[in-house]
Structure 1
Amino acid sequence: MIEAAPDGGVTNNLDPPQCAARPGNGAADRLTGCMQQLHRLVSDRLMGQLQSELQGEVVSFTQMTAMYKVRAFAPISVTMLAEHLGVSLPATSQLIQELVRRGLMERTENPENRREKLLALSEKGQQFLNVKEHTMMGAYSEVFGEVSPETLRRAEDAITALIHEARALQARRSPDRLSVAAGPVPHEEPL
């Protein structure tokens, strides 16, 4: 239920007005609570838009994850994809077969090892992910559209710092591990 807040603003009494502290009450737990609130604001708009834009393309969570992994690491072998997904090789092969059948992914022979197949997104698969991401960014833009420029600037600075530090920690923990999250942050130019 939405009602007037004491300061004259609007509040949703289903969600606490401040970021809910999660068990432990540490800074990471408080931020997690804030991110949950932000996710709720955005997902409200996102789900309806995605449903209408992706009409006719039913993709499971595991298939969607596979598509993102293939895009990030292409060309990637079926074995490596299974490892990234944390599922068995037979299950991954079956999942890939369905995505190939639907034209969302392409499978080619590895020129260095003829017994191995390499995976990449098809043009249709790339367009599918582009629509999803465009819709997601539109939902964020809609939520942030009327927020003051100063609040947005402070949030951008804080999130950029958070991304840099989290990436550095991830790289120290597993320097040889490929990361899907290794894209540029705001104000960075891709290499």
Structure 2
Amino acid sequence: MDGVERDRLARDIGDFRRALLPGFLLHLLRGFEGEDPSVIQIVTLYVLDHTTATTLRELADHVGRSVSATSRLVDQLVRRGLVDRHEDPDDRRARRIALTESGANFLREFERARADAQLEVMAYLNAEERELVIRAMSLLGEASRRRIHAHPTDPEIR
């Protein structure tokens, strides 16, 4: 992809995001009730959604934060009931962090709201164009799963 094509793609993605995000973000904020979610909170939930229960240090490595900053982040998510901390059965000194059912439900609702917002934008396409976008999104999902599978321990990819 040359620079012109890349710039065009970036512009098109930007236009799409501007059309998609206002309603989507308002829905997201309503779901957090009270304190607005941060990007790092959402990222943390997604990291926990794709891993088994992890230690604080491992989670800090995944999200690129210090252990103390990650501990405060986890505290916030525990208070909201989105994550849980429990004793590691193999090492009583270690505590494991995992997504709760409420946390998983929040992410699924987040994804549904995003899909609904995308479908609202896609309503301005004809049937053939919509099918093409649906197929392209399916291919991107598959490429994402392949990428994760190819690099299962790389925190930058998960």
Partner amino acid for 1:136?
A: R
Q: Which residue of 2 aligns with 1:17?
A: none
For residues 75 and 102 of structure 1, do their structure 2 counterparts lie closer, same or farther at Cα, with a shift above 3 Å needed? same
Are residues 162 and 94 of structure 1, via their aligned partners in 2, closer, same or farther at CA, if it must alter by over 3 Å?
Answer: closer
Matched position secondary structure for 2:106: helix
Counterpart for residue 133 of structure 1: 111
| CA deviation profile, 1:114-137 (whole Å, cap 9, x unmatched) | 222111122332232233222212
Once the two structures are superposed, residues 119-156 of structure 1 have per-residue CA deviations (whole angstroms, 9 ceiling, x without a partner) of: 11223322322332222121112221342110112233
Count of residue correspondences: 156
CA distance in 2 between partners of 1:41 and 1:139 (Å): 9
Residue equivalent to 2:154: 177
- Residue of structure 1 aligned with 2:43, choices 42, 46, 65: 65
Residue 29 of structure 2 contacts residue 36 of structure 2 at CA under 8 Å; is this kept in 1? Answer: no
- The AA in structure 2 aligned to 1:116 is A
Unaligned runs of 5+ in 2: none
8 Å Cα contact 2:85/2:95 also seen in 1: yes
Question: Would the alpha carbon gap of residues 59 and 171 (structure 1) be closer, same or farther in structure 2, given more than 3 Å must change?
Answer: same
CA distance in 2, matches of 1:127, 1:177: 26
1:66-85 Cα offsets, whole Å, 9 max, x none, are 11111211311111110011
Which has the larger Rg?
1
Pairwise mapping of residues 158-177 of structure 1 onto structure 2 (< 5 A)? 158-161=136-139, 164=142, 174=151, 176-177=153-154
SS in structure 2 at match of 1:115: strand
Which amino acid is 1:35 matched to? I
Q: Find 2:88's aligned residue among 98, 107, 110.
A: 110
Distance (whole Å) between structure 2 residues aligned to residue 45 and residue 33 of structure 1: 20
What residue is the counterpart of 2:3 in the other structure? 24
Distance in 2 between residues matched to 1:67 and 1:39, nearest whole Å: 21
Identical amino acids, percent of aligned pairs? 29
Q: Which amino acid aligns with 2:154?
A: R
State TM-score, norm by structure 2: 0.79
Match of 1:157?
135
Q: Distance in 2 between the 1:124 and 1:167 partners?
A: 24
Name the structure 2 match of 1:4.
none
Structure number having the greater helix percentage: 2
Does residue 73 of structure 2 align to residue 95 of structure 1?
yes
Partners of 1:132 and 1:120 in 2: how far apart?
18
TM-score by length of 1: 0.67
Q: Which has the higher contact order (CA 8 A, sep 6+)?
A: 2
